Amino acid sequence: MKRKIPLFKRLQHNPIICIVILLIAVGFYYYQISENSFTAEVIHVIDGDTLDVLVVNQPIRIRLAGIDAPEKGQAFGSKAKKALADRVKNKVVTVIEVDKDQYQRMVAIIKLDDLNINQEMVRLGMAWVYTNYNQDDSLPLLETKARANKAGLWSQSNPTPPWLYRKQLSNK
């Protein structure tokens, strides 16, 4: 009668099976982590909360989640665009998809190494927290600090939020 050897003992003596199992486990873990995130190069900054990244030779337009930056033509609009471009243009970032917006743009958190760019734009006073869509609990505190420090757009006495600016333009 043949004696059964426990599975663990059999695996100890077969490194190839161990490696295959390890690769499958790592692959599954990576898939779970990266199913809604990817890395890409930022090829164009549209404004302070919108950019284009290149993925498999295709540009993808991304709207930064939870924030709303001044529009072009609005006070601090060009400064917000420059602040975003200075941080991410031509750099490889991690894109974490959160949603799609009404224009079918990807809404995402952008990370450059460990720096959350969405949070950084608010901290610098280059964007408001977009309260209707925000899911990041740290953004309101960052905005409060930026206001208190009169950072960026908060150096103005009464800055107009971009959503009101857009509404005023559409009423004209």
* 105 annotated active-site: yes
Kindly state the tokens that stand for 167: 């509404």
Respond yes or no: is residue 63 known to be catalytic.
Answer: yes
User: Which listed residue (63, 87, 120, 123) is catalytic?
Assistant: 63
d(CA 69, CA 101): 16
d(CA 169, CA 99): 26
Catalytic residue among 61, 97, 105, 147: 105
Length of the chain, in residues? 172
Catalytic entry in 41, 71, 97, 166: 71
Q: Which residues contact 53 (CB under 8 A, 6 or more apart)?
A: 40, 41, 42, 43, 59, 60, 62, 93, 95
Just list the catalytic residues: 63, 71, 105
